[in-house]
Amino acid sequence: MMETKWAYLIHLLAWTLPVIAFQLVVLVRHYKERSGAVLKAVLPPAFILGLYLAVADHLAITTGIWNFGEGKHLGIYLGVVPLEEVLFFLITSVLVSLGLALFTALVSLLGEARAS
């Protein structure tokens, strides 16, 4: 286990970036010229949700519901929320949103296959 202030960020990016890259490749291959429009429809709500969750985390931290151990993150905060935690909320919201866009594409493909 990595015991450094970079641990949270490294682990977060190591497991999420390959999945996001895969999702984007599949999305662009499926939606082709419409992929830009799909991303414009999917990403803004994901970022809004991620920011909402970061605000909720801020409230939980300030009321003492939970906290983060010292030395386990970079020490950069947005309010009282560590940067890595904000990135976690933003990235996971993007993962879910892209996943839903791809699920919609899969359902569409299955519907077309059944109609054939």
Q: What pLDDT is attached to residue 86?
A: 95
Instruction: Return the pLDDT at 66.
Output: 86
Per-state percent for the chain, helix, strand, coil, to nearest 5 = 75, 5, 20
Cα dist from 65 to 77, 106, 113, whole Å? 18, 40, 50
pTM: 0.85
Residues of the chain scoring pLDDT < 50? none
* Number of folded domains that form the chain: 1
Let me know if residue 79 belongs to a domain: yes
- pLDDT for 1 equals 53
Q: Is residue 5 part of a domain?
A: no
Range of the domain at 67: 20-25+34-110
Which pLDDT belongs to residue 104?
Answer: 87
